Amino acid sequence: MHLTNYSLNKYSDQFVANEDENNDYVGHKWSLTALKEYLKNHGFDLELIWGRIEDLVVKSIISIEGLVFSAMDMSVPFRDNCFEILGFDVLVDADLRPWLLEINLSPSMNTDSPMDLKIKGSMVADMMTMIGVVPVDQRYSVDKTYLENATKAHY
């Protein structure tokens, strides 16, 4: 009955974009932080809602665990060398019950706004930390002997 797909709705003449990463509950696309704040300020039981959503996500993952493990056993020699980002589309009804609409494999990482860039950039940084990638500032990690020799070779 209602289509909530951002990639289509952004073309509507009624769509209101958010162009300010620091004002994240303006327009038709909010951050999760803004949504939680809105719900809390309007008297909704945020712990109840979020607990039910977490339960839904955990049960969804458990339901595919066997399939994922058997696919990995066939295709991936080491479990630590792969991962997947999942996007859960959840609708919460008037009784505060979450309903799973769909789970997206490799959800869109397009950044159509400054808020998108802030949220998705932080999510990617968190994901890299979770999988064990250690950030290195290349300006300080280059071998100084290599730099000295490379500089001498150019003069």
Per-residue model confidence as pLDDT tens digits over 66-107? 999 898 888 888 877 788 899 999 999 999 999 999 999 988
Can you give the residue range of the structural domain that contains 125? 6-153
Q: What is the pLDDT of residue 1?
A: 39
68 assigned to some structural domain: yes
Torsion of CA 136, 110, 103, 49, to 10 degrees: 80
1 assigned to some structural domain: no
What CATH code is carried by the domain that includes residue 145?
Answer: 3.30.470
Q: What is the number of structural domains in the chain?
A: 1
Count CB neighbours of 14 within 10 A.
6
Helices of type H across 22-45: 32-41
The pTM score is 0.75
Q: What is the pLDDT of residue 18?
A: 84
115 assigned to some structural domain: yes
Query: Hunting for tokens 């997947």 — which residue is that?
Result: 84
The one-character DSSP state at 133 is P
Please answer whether residues 108 and 89 qualify as being in contact, where contact means their C-beta atoms are separated by less than 8 angstroms: no
40 assigned to some structural domain: yes
pLDDT digit string, tens, across residues 16-73 = 888 888 888 888 888 899 999 999 999 999 999 999 999 999 999 999 999 998 988 8
